[in-house]
A and B are shown apart, each in its own frame.
Chain A
Amino acid sequence: MFAESIENVRFSIVSPDMIRRISVAKLIVPDTYNEDGYPIDGGLVDQRLGVIDPGLKCKTCGGRAKSCQGHFGHIELIRPVVHPEFSRLVFLLLQSTCDTCYRALVSEKQIEALKEVEEQTGLTKVKSIRKCPYCGAKQKKLKLERPTFFYMEGERLKADTIQDWLSKISDEDMRILGTDPSMVRPEWLILKVLLVPPVNARPSITLENGDRSEDDLTHKLVEIMRINQRLEQDIDAGAPQIIIDDLWELLQYHVTTYFNNETPGVPVARHRSTRPLKTLAHRLKGKEGRIRYNLSGKRVNFTARTVICGDPNLTINDVGISKTIAERLTTPFHVTHWNMEHAKGLILRTEYPMAINVINPDGVRKRVTETNREELISLLAPGWVIERQLVDGDIALFNRQPTLHKLSIMAHNIKVLPGRTMRMSANATTPYNADFDGDEMNLHIPQAIEAIAEARYLMRPMDVIMSPRDGSPTMFVDEDGILGAYILTRNESRYTKEEACALLSAASIFELPEPDANGMYTGKSIFSMLLPDDLDYEERDRKGNTVIIKRGELVEGYIKKESVGSGSGLLFRKIYSDYGHQALVDFMYRFTKISYFALYMNGLTIGIKNYLTDKGIESETTKIIKNVSDEVGKLLDQYKDKSLTVLPGYTRRETYELLAHSTTGNARQLGTHFIEKTMSFDNSAFLMPTLGARGSVLNLVQMLMFLGQQSVRGKRISRGYHGRVLPYFRRNERSPRSKGFVSSSFMNGLEPIEFYMHAIGARDSTMGKSLITAVSGYLMRRLVHALQDIYVETDLSVRNAAGEIIQPLYGSDGIDTSAELVR
């Protein structure tokens, strides 16, 4: 609520005065606890800065460890030091102002010119001026030795001199240099007072042996104070200037590392155990820093996480959760005049769907216990909220990491099921990129009514089923579903009345189609029962197979990947656009159920028998391999006698390599063609890849014929020993085999040499994959940060956070990308 009232946030620099006013204690003792383990007054854990021990009370606000959020203190530095993070800006200021009269080195003329150019920050532009336009003094040469040493004409400028200089720059001139002097005075960039964060921000931990271990910041502050104190004593004692300067420099070092222990040019401050200290900058910076870890990403309640597995009895909109989860998580029930009775009933219940907490209108949460039920009921009034256990039909956000796109979080209807895992439809796995080999997923229960409404009407899988990337369905049927659909809808499938009833009832249909002349039911007619009565549909794939549906009857062809599978999902798209998303969900559910059941009735098995086929394969394999070696041999001869036609833009050697690679690579295509020609649908191992259910014909080639060319970085394997990949070969040997062509099949087993080649290729592809996830992950982060503020205005123009127009009309037609299919 508080956040809503913030209009804007203005940054500035805390002035020394402000620090003293914020501070509740001036710290003087460079130590923490005394011998009794009690905080020292004026020390770094002074009780006025707040308390972290449960027994003590804060001396400033009287609060206990939990209620007091701590108070700032301060250290008065004996000699000023440069704030390391500002040293660049200090240097710029020194360069931009006159070393004699301290005016900005901008002539009146230039100021006029600057006024015309809107909102110029003069700071960087002024640097090169040599002579002060006001007092005429020639400017001395300034040098900044990072991070905090300033020199003028080779002579060291100490922090107090710099502070003096900066304080003499007038407000007027600061305005010219681009800052707001009412907010920031340049002398504040040099520190005379150091703000000390409350102990709550740097809590000590008590180790098992009772010893205290202080936070790194406290360590650093102790050191700063120790040096500060020594410096004071030495100055008072009238110590020689060199000693004082040394201590001063040391003080500067400690302050520098206190702010940023990674300041370039400064040795890293270390703990006794040589571990580098984590100081202020570390707390903010990077992925584990305050900004990205705690502010851009926040932890939430009302969540669950377990292993997921598939359940064909769920639609894509559902998620099955265990009773354990349903009992623990809650959803708010808002009490009104009209649902009072129900609310009271909820509180009175003592078993499963019962109330866990009640929240009164002041926001105080009370647990419902055995003893306070009656009392709570008497208090219950409109405006109260009851936190109730989850039941079927509640909405939950379901998520799998990595959350790469918006479909990685969708809203599912809860179904409470026996068992411990979370269940989902296998058809909804694709957008999450999930499988059931042990994947875990997260569940979030939205609590605000707005959040619930949004989840319920904008985030269900069926609301986002069409991908905004290219308009294709993101959820579809695959694997068993496609196989089952083929078995059901192929021409020869006939079912008895009993079978037809079983099939249709699996899909919750309790009517029968017309039987054929023999009293049997065709698979097509059974399948047609799923289709809307007025559906007309036609589809033709690349191989010329057609699927024709007329008036809701499947009259020709069998259902395959093109109709319902990934990529196109043409039939699904048709139903989606003509009958709506709910119809598609229902259809997909029934389709899957009936397919699974048809597959279950028919059975489908593969075994070694599928791969022990006729001898044709063997001879063809030898033929292909021989052809490949012959052709590569021919290329080699041409290469050697220089008759090879060099491809434009390539050297002769590159041309040879290229052609050799494409020749050996082509062997796989030849193998695929042969398998496709000789095998038939009787062979389940061939049926699956051809329908698009699982695997590819290439897998068959690799198992039955030969493995083919192995490659590293898109080329034939060529690295290794001098002139050869493995010492087994002769130097400069150029046979296909020596460059990673594997002519054995998985069935026959690989030769040792081939095994090595295969391992080399496998390693290359594994490495490539892991590399690409890192690179593309960072690309994604950059893209999101660059584009996240961009939205569509009411006039359909595209704008960014500042309201600048990026496109006058989104995509030049204002059509949502999920509504148009690409290709």
Chain B
Amino acid sequence: MIVMAKRSNSGKVQYGEPVGVVTAQSLGERSTQMVLRTFHQAGVSSEVISAGLPRLIEIVDARKRAKHALMTIRFDKGIAKDYERVKEIKQKLEEVSINTLINGFDENLKNGTMLLHFDKDAMSAHSITLRKVMEILSSRFPDIEVSNEGNEVTIRYKKRKDVRGVRTAFVHVRDEIVSGVEGIQKAVINSEGETFYIAVSGSNLKGVMDIEGVRPENIYTNDIFEVLSVFGIEAARNAIANEIAYVFDIEKASMNFKHIALLADTMTYSGTIKSVGRHGVAGDKESVFARAAYEETIKHFVNAGFFSETDRLRGVAENIIIGRQITVGTGKVKLMIKNEELERFKPEDGEKE
């Protein structure tokens, strides 16, 4: 017990420790050894994983549209082993547009009509009926009339003046999504031993959560902004941290989670996600000098002049620029001595000079 306490105390961080720089260096140094390409995880799964340095940069930049948004949906025991039920859910997930259900179409712009040739096999594969499609179309497009003759559906545009308008309307009709969750492009069933799970490309937490049989705690998405909008900033912070940790995990690069957590906290402590670059954490610093030393030097000085900004010289970069000790580490502490104490160090009379 005593040994443990002693060890733990000797391991405490020291006052002033520049943990930010340590984090930056640890992450940065490791990143030099990563591969610069997205790669597929060979054979095992369908997941087109964006990994390595590009993914790290993507997270750190807080890019809104991540290149490969990806969700994994797992199930409770009851469903997970039942392939048919998983398949059923899969069908509810995948975006199905009219385009995927038809063999072809004939449009007559002059008359404002379009003939859609529906494909029976495609429809049954997505378990959707013609009637349902027609219902959806007529309810979503008030300006059209829908009628059918077997698998041929005729769309008639009521306002038939403008050829261009008709054409765009038809394109919209063909792109209309008749089933599935918005934003989910592709769903794939994978298995881990006995249990099945669904991996989808594209991300829509809210949409997927609403599907019967899916529980929110069983979904994972790698889209950080999605997490932010659905679950809030604390969850987004964890999402950032987990995603970064995952990048290092794949590379088999050992990394203390504290570094990753500190980066995630710095990106999120303000309540929104800030990127690491000039439009985020580094660009929002209070110090004019620190911002100017980073990027867009002129812009920062010009604005500082006009708004008569004051640099309070509390950070590192600005103190280096004006030429004094930095404000972290040993630069934070000062040595003080009482004047009376100083007397003690004067040589006594008898002492040899």
A residues with a Cβ closer than 8 A to B are 3-4, 6-13, 85-86, 89, 121, 178-180, 183-184, 189, 260, 281, 284-286, 289, 291-292, 295-296, 298, 337-338, 340, 404-406, 450, 454, 458, 468-472, 577, 647-650, 658-659, 661-662, 713-714, 768, 771-773, 775-777, 779-780, 782-794, 796, 798, 800-807, 810-812, 814-817, 819-820, 822-823
Contacts and interface: CB of A to CB of B under 8 A. Distances in A.
A1 to B, nearest CB: 9
Nearest to A807: B265
Closest 7 CB pairs of A and B: A649-B46, A790-B20, A780-B28, A819-B11, A787-B20, A801-B315, A811-B258
11 contacts: A9-B288, A10-B308, A12-B305, A183-B308, A295-B321, A776-B32, A786-B277, A798-B19, A802-B286, A816-B14, A822-B256
B86 to A, nearest CB: 12
Contacts of A810: 13, 17, 19, 258, 262
Contacts of B353: 337, 340
A631 to B, nearest CB: 14
A291 B321 contact: yes
Contact of A9 (B28, B29, B310, B320): B310
A823 B188 CA distance: 33
A786 B25 CA distance: 12
Interface residues of B, number: 105
Given A11-B309, A814-B12, A816-B13, A784 B329 contact: no
B60 interface: yes
Contacts of A13: 305-306
B306 A789 contact: no
Contacts of A12: 305, 308
A790 B15 contact: no
A737 B313 CA distance: 64
B347 A472 contact: no
Given A6-B313, A817-B259, A822-B254, A768 B36 contact: yes
Interface of B: 7-8, 10-32, 34-37, 39-40, 42-43, 45-48, 53, 56-57, 60, 186, 188-190, 199, 254-259, 261-263, 265-266, 269, 276-277, 280-282, 285-290, 292-294, 297-298, 301-318, 320-324, 327-330, 332, 347, 351, 353
Nearest to B324: A3
A337 B199 CA distance: 79
Given A714-B37, A786-B281, A798-B262, A472 B254 contact: yes
B307 A179 contact: yes
A820 B256 contact: yes
B269 A649 contact: no
Best-surrounded residue of A405, A796, A814 (most CB of chain B within 10 A): A405
Contacts of A10: 308-311
Contacts of B290: 785, 789, 801
Contacts of B261: 807, 811-812
A822 B258 CA distance: 11
Nearest to B27: A783
B254 A780 contact: no
A469 B26 contact: yes
B298 A85 contact: yes
Nearest to A454: B330
B222 to A, nearest CB: 16
A9 B311 contact: yes
Contacts of B254: 469-470, 472, 822-823
B330 A450 contact: yes
Contact of A713 (B27, B37, B266): B37
Nearest to B321: A295
A11 B288 contact: yes
B43 A406 contact: no
A292 B34 CA distance: 28
B68 to A, nearest CB: 12
Given A291-B292, A789-B327, A792-B17, A284 B256 contact: no
B308 A6 contact: no
B269 A804 contact: yes
A406 B351 contact: no
Contacts of B48: 649
Nearest to A802: B286
Contacts of B21: 406, 784, 787-788, 790
A801 B15 CA distance: 14
Nearest to A403: B25
Given A11-B311, A796-B13, A658 B306 contact: no
B13 A814 contact: yes
B351 to A, nearest CB: 7
Given A291-B293, A801-B316, A792 B330 contact: no
A179 B20 CA distance: 33
B32 A790 contact: no
A295 B301 contact: no
Contact of A788 (B56, B317, B330): B317
A600 B46 CA distance: 54
Contact of B255 (A340, A470, A659): A470
Given A779-B60, A792-B19, A295 B320 contact: yes
A644 to B, nearest CB: 13
Contacts of A776: 28, 31-32, 34, 53
Contacts of A289: 297
Contacts of A178: 307
Contacts of A820: 11, 256
Contacts of A661: 42
A183 B305 CA distance: 9
A428 to B, nearest CB: 17
Given A804-B269, A823-B254, A180 B259 contact: no
Contacts of A404: 25, 28-29, 32
B13 A405 contact: no
A648 B280 contact: no
Contact of B297 (A183, A284, A798): A284
B286 A11 contact: no
A805 B309 CA distance: 23
Nearest to A771: B36
Contacts of A189: 306
A4 B324 contact: yes
A292 to B, nearest CB: 6
A714 to B, nearest CB: 5
A658 B13 contact: no
A779 B311 contact: no
A806 B266 contact: yes
Given A12-B305, A404-B29, A792-B17, A296 B258 contact: no
Nearest to A783: B24
Nearest to A262: B298
B13 A296 contact: no
A190 to B, nearest CB: 13
A806 B265 contact: yes
Given A281-B298, A804-B269, A784 B24 contact: yes
Nearest to B12: A814
Given A11-B311, A296-B321, A648 B188 contact: yes
A731 B353 CA distance: 96
Contacts of B309: 10-11
A790 B18 contact: yes
A819 B56 CA distance: 26
A89 B327 CA distance: 34
Contact of B347 (A338, A454, A794): A338
Given A782-B282, A787-B24, A794-B15, 13 more contacts: A6-B313, A85-B302, A284-B298, A284-B301, A291-B321, A296-B317, A296-B321, A469-B255, A773-B32, A775-B57, A791-B16, A816-B14, A817-B259
A649 B24 contact: no
Nearest to B299: A85
B282 A786 contact: yes
B298 A260 contact: yes
A779 B37 contact: no
A786 B275 CA distance: 9
A691 B349 CA distance: 68
Contacts of A405: 25-26, 28-29
B195 to A, nearest CB: 15
